[in-house]
Amino acid sequence: MEEMPGYIDEEEEEEEDEFWPMAIRSEVIEYILHRYGSLKARDIAHILGCKLQDVSQVLKQLERSGRVRKAKLGRNCIWAPVQDRHSNLMYY
């Protein structure tokens, strides 16, 4: 059998690393915000090793669904998780 050149395998691995389904990205970004608090989109992109544009797109989608909120801090935007109001209720 003929052996495939090594560079083909490397290209396939790179493509697999870059592909993250949108649902997984959303969950991971939401987890990071809940775990570490408010962060800039650039910081999240750096943590995940993703492009800033991809992270910004996911953050805007999460904001539209009401799961994160954006706050303007000087010239920067900070993203924070939305606190679940129902989890803090006390019944007597």
35 residue type, one letter: R
- Predicted confidence at residue 38, as pLDDT, reads 92
Q: Predicted confidence band at 13 (pLDDT cuts at 50, 70, 90)?
A: very low
Longest CA–CA span in the chain (Å) reads 74
Q: Tell how far CA 53 is from the center of its chain.
A: 11
- Predicted confidence at residue 72, as pLDDT, reads 92
Q: DSSP assignment of 61-72, as one string?
A: HHHHTTSEEEEE
- In the chain, where the domains are located: 21-83
Q: 21-83, what's its fold?
A: Arc Repressor Mutant, subunit A (1.10.10)
